[in-house]
Structure 1
């Protein structure tokens, strides 16, 4: 039975990665093989990395960037190396998707590498067109690329709403 599930979690709010990790955990609970690839973020804290390691082999976590800082905060000379690392991560994700190596593939901040031009919209579209339909795909990022709607089944938008509960 094909999953046909392609989820996008986007928007300016917090919680996109946490929501994607929730989908990963739901996959693990159902006995699925889950792979999560993270882009554009600083290094996870040791505690988080340790927890994810304990979930192997059901959940495999990959991060191809080597810097501990967020990509946006790096000096220009370090950005070039990290660009190559992120492209390697994207190529790994493409291989995983086309070979059906997992049941659930989480690509955290993949939309960010499209938005920043690290991979082109055409490369991203080709990736979506070549996906193994048996694999559930969850993608996150702030900006959802135009034209992606034809490839996805669900788009969730995260927004933070400031609530002023203080009365004068």
Structure 2
């Protein structure tokens, strides 16, 4: 009997959703599992990418190139480019999941993609339902919707109680990015 891959969601307004997903991926690599992390709406160079590069080829990262600002700060043209890029990445990752080459797939900020209307929730639910039974799947982002939560096996909400940004302290390299 093959293992059953479950669906995890890390959501909420707190810091640490991506960090939690990466931690799970590193743990999986430690057990010789193959990990794919797909980052949507992120193109900034971050320190975790330097660490994950050392885990290749067991830990593979795919990310976009055009999204270097928050969607709320984008022009309509930039939003359209981000939508196209998100759709291309999503179609690619769906195919990779169906090929069953990865034990764990992390879709970082997929919930943000959904909330901005760049891809449909129906498409993500279909992907969850169509994934190979043994593939573990992690979805991250703020404000996970009810249908997505119902489709998941684990849901962790990371709540912001206090954050240095509230005191005017900017994101720090090696800590926040």
Does TM, normalized by the shorter one, top 0.5? yes
- Cα separation, 2, equivalents of 1:22 and 1:38: 15
Following superposition of structure 1 onto structure 2, how do residues 113-128 of structure 1 map, counting pairs within 5 Å? 113-128=113-128
Following superposition of structure 1 onto structure 2, how do residues 1-150 of structure 1 map, counting pairs within 5 Å? 1-45=2-46, 47-150=47-150
Secondary structure of the structure 2 residue equivalent to 1:113: helix
- Cα separation, 1, equivalents of 2:67 and 2:162: 32
- Cα separation, 2, equivalents of 1:59 and 1:38: 13
Greater shift in the superposed pair: 65-74 or 54-63? 65-74
Q: Does the C-alpha gap of structure 1 residues 149 and 49 become closer, same or farther in structure 2, counting only changes over 3 Å?
A: closer
* Normalised TM-score (structure 1): 0.88
Displacement after TM superposition at 1:33 (Å):
0.3
- Cα separation, 1, equivalents of 2:144 and 2:45: 24
Partner of 1:166: none
The count of corresponding residues between Structure 1 and Structure 2 is 162
Equivalent pair of 1:64/1:88 in contact (CA under 8 Å): no
- Cα separation, 2, equivalents of 1:31 and 1:89: 25
Displacement after TM superposition at 1:75 (Å):
2.5
* Normalised TM-score (structure 2): 0.84
Displacement after TM superposition at 1:3 (Å):
2.7
Secondary structure of the structure 1 residue equivalent to 2:49: helix
Structure 1: where are the runs of 5+ without partners? 164-168
Displacement after TM superposition at 1:42 (Å):
4.1
- Cα separation, 2, equivalents of 1:147 and 1:69: 28
Structure 2: where are the runs of 5+ without partners? 164-177
Displacement after TM superposition at 1:98 (Å):
1.5
CA offset digits 1:99-122 (Å, max 9, x no partner): 212000000011111111111121
Displacement after TM superposition at 1:44 (Å):
2.5
Equivalent pair of 2:111/2:143 in contact (CA under 8 Å): yes
CA offset digits 1:23-68 (Å, max 9, x no partner): 11011111000000001224123x4332222211010001023243
